[in-house]
Amino acid sequence: MYKVRRWASRHSRFFEWMYKQFERALVLLHPVFNRIGYGRMEKPTAAVEKVVKGFLFDTQMCGLCTLSATGMVCPMNCPKSMRNGPCGGVRENGNCEVKPEMACVWRDAYAGSRLMRHGDRILEIQAPVDHRLKGTSAWLREVRRKVGMESEGGAAK
């Protein structure tokens, strides 16, 4: 929802902190996930992730979540799928070139990043989307990455 996601970007510092705690909890649950099997966990987790992140951030489930590096704003809401910053078409009022009624996603992302502890992560260069990962759980992927089962970018080790 547009209003909720804009509210979330204004409270990016809180969501950054919450996300960190949540991620820690998920990593602790790795042995459980592993026993059940990540393959079996995938579908239900992705479904929950879609509802939660969809409500809060309007996320598009690209599978390689960048929220904490993009001001807690999902860059995939940009009509041009810009993952590294705003395009040159941002209107004088800060709205989108393609959707004039929508605030530029990157304007919100930059403002959100300024409130965050690790807001300078917005300067990291994000890799292009791997379209095979669309719709898959970025949460589980992050856990697998943290425990060393998967490398950056989603390839299984």
Contacting range for other proteins; rule: CB under 8 A; set: 3-11, 18-26, 43-51, 94-102: 94-102
4 binds other proteins (CB under 8 A): no
Q: Which tokens in the block code for residue 99? A: 């959707």
Given candidates 21, 25, 39, 125, which one binds other proteins under the rule CB under 8 A?
A: 125
| Calpha distance 114→27 (Å, rounded) | 27
Minimum Å distance from CB 148 to other proteins? 22
Considering only 5, 53, 107, 141, the residue that binds other proteins (CB under 8 A) is 107
User: What does the block give as tokens for 156?
Assistant: 């299984």
> Smallest distance, Å, CB 51 to other proteins?
26
Q: What share of the chain is helix, strand, coil (3-state, %, to 5)?
A: 55, 5, 40
* Residue owning tokens 């950054």: 16
136 and 23 Cβ atoms separated by less than 8 Å = no
Total site size for other proteins, rule CB under 8 A: 31
d(CA 28, CA 69) in angstroms, rounded, equals 23
In the bound state with other proteins, the residue whose beta carbon lies nearer, of 71 and 144, is: 71
Contacts to other proteins by CB under 8 A = 79-94, 97-98, 104, 106-107, 110-111, 122-123, 125-129, 131
